[in-house]
Amino acid sequence: MNTLLWKALFIKSPVPYLVQELFRDAKGQVQDVKILEINQAFSKASGLKAASVKNKLLTQIYKVHTEPIQQWIELCGEAVLCNKILHSEMSFGFSPILQKVLLVPLIKDACAMILLKQEQTMFSTISSATDLTQINEDLAKANDKLKLLAITDELTGLYNRCFFEQKIDNEMNYADLHKEKFSMISFDIDHFKDINDTWGHPAGDDVLKQAAKIARAAIPNTAMLIRFGGDEFIVLMPHASMQEAAETAEQIRAAIEGEMFHGVGSITASFGVAERKAKESFKFWYKRVDEALYRAKELGRNQVAHSSENSKPIASVHIEWIEDWECGNLEIDRQHKKLLEISQGLMTMTLLTKLQSSNILQQLDRLVEHIVYHFACEEHLLEKMSYRKAHEHALVHKKLVKKVLEVKEHYSRGDIKASVFFSFLVDDVVLGHLLREDIKFFPYIQMKSKKT
């Protein structure tokens, strides 16, 4: 049963039911209760209207801290502390009428309240121990479903951050106790904001759901996949080494890259991987994973980077994209940004001595391929829009591609330093061409866009 159906069942159920969260002071004492959900049957029986009480503390609802309110708070605290179902009687607000209730502990600091109405209901016909046993079994099943909902991300169906926070300490303690390897993968969707801005948030949601499905199929049974927040996902891999986690990350990366996403097309993702050190706190472990993910993005995205003892912060040349460089055509602007991003990734590579030349040449081929593709797209657009100097601009492209290939050949032979070659790419090919040549047709495209 999916989340929406289960929520509809909760709201329309004839069983009067509400879910509440406990609020504690600095000493851990329960001071107040917030009503998270309340169904129609409970509203009708208690007089508490969902619109007036949902997501509010009892002290906000009733203003005055009366004895019945204090009893309510204490009963909730007792149910959670004892971790068992409590049968009791209480009144609501200022009403003197006592009503029978069941208090059911759920997850940490949350419990449900079920109202046992006096009139003919499923609860008023309890005549034997068998009836009570059946009720307790039904409550246990409902409780299990609520617990699952509490740790499940509604959009993707993956575990959520609440589950992660419940699980991580126990998993780390187990790994320390048994001296087990434990690795973590963090990944997110490249240019996810652009996806939302271009195709809308529903399309972005579909991308997240599809990416989650792909990742879930690629991880081993012992791993746990969590939607950590936004477009960031975490994979916890007990018993796994850095190498094993990196291989899993690469499988997910390749699967996402090879998939066509409905309404959006192809997308990519970047990955950071780190194996936990003995007794290492989650804070420092996650910091190393996050730094590795950052490194993957700095090197051009769509790749896996891992943390190591000798990992150093990347001191890269970073050029911020500014609005003045936008021509007004979304696709051309996106390609310009991509060119700048790949170029800066190559510049960063020159600062990382451990990277082999084959890695650099691979990224270089990617940049040249994107330059040629971008030039072709730009020429097609200008011709389609009847730009008067489209032919001249195409000739500039042709000369520039020839120059890039010549300088690349010199670099491959070792005739020039990497830093000189990459400076040429950024200063002359990417930014230089954009600011000297491309900027000439910006007013024309912007004028045409306004007319349409």
| CATH class (in words) of the domain with range 153-314 | alpha beta
> 315-452 domain in CATH 1.10.10.10?
no
Q: Over 70: is that where the pLDDT of 136 sits?
A: no
Sign of CA dihedral 364, 366, 371, 376: positive
Give the per-residue pLDDT at 162: 84
Give the per-residue pLDDT at 75: 87
Domain residues of the chain, as ranges?
Answer: 3-150, 153-314, 315-452
Q: In what order do the strands lie in the sheet with 86-90?
A: 56-57, 30-38, 17-24, 110-116, 99-105, 86-90
Q: In what order do the strands lie in the sheet with 232-238?
A: 224-229, 232-238, 182-189, 269-275, 304-306
Residues whose CB is less than 8 angstroms from the CB of residue 152 and which lie 6 or more positions away in sequence, other chains included: 3, 158, 159, 160, 163
Give the per-residue pLDDT at 309: 47
* 3-150 against 315-452: fold identical: no
Give the per-residue pLDDT at 444: 83
- The pairing of beta strand 232-238 with beta strand 224-229: antiparallel
* CA-angle at 60, arms to 54 and 61, nearest 5°: 60
What is the per-residue pLDDT across 261-282, written as a single tens digit (0 to 9) for each?
A: 988 999 999 999 999 998 899 9
Mean pLDDT across 385-393:
89
Give the type of residue at 243: Q
Q: Over 80: is that where the pLDDT of 142 sits?
A: no
Give the per-residue pLDDT at 310: 44
**For every residue of 24-37, which 3-state class applies, written as one string?**
ECCCCCEEEEEEEE
Mean pLDDT across 170-192:
94
Q: Where are the alpha helices (DSSP H) in 258-329?
A: 282-298
Write down the pTM of the prediction.
0.46
What is the per-residue pLDDT across 312-363, written as a single tens digit (0 to 9) for each?
A: 444 445 566 777 788 888 888 888 888 888 777 776 665 554 444 566 677 7
Taking the mean position of all CA atoms in its chain, how far away is CA 69?
39
> 3-150 domain in CATH 3.40.50.150?
no
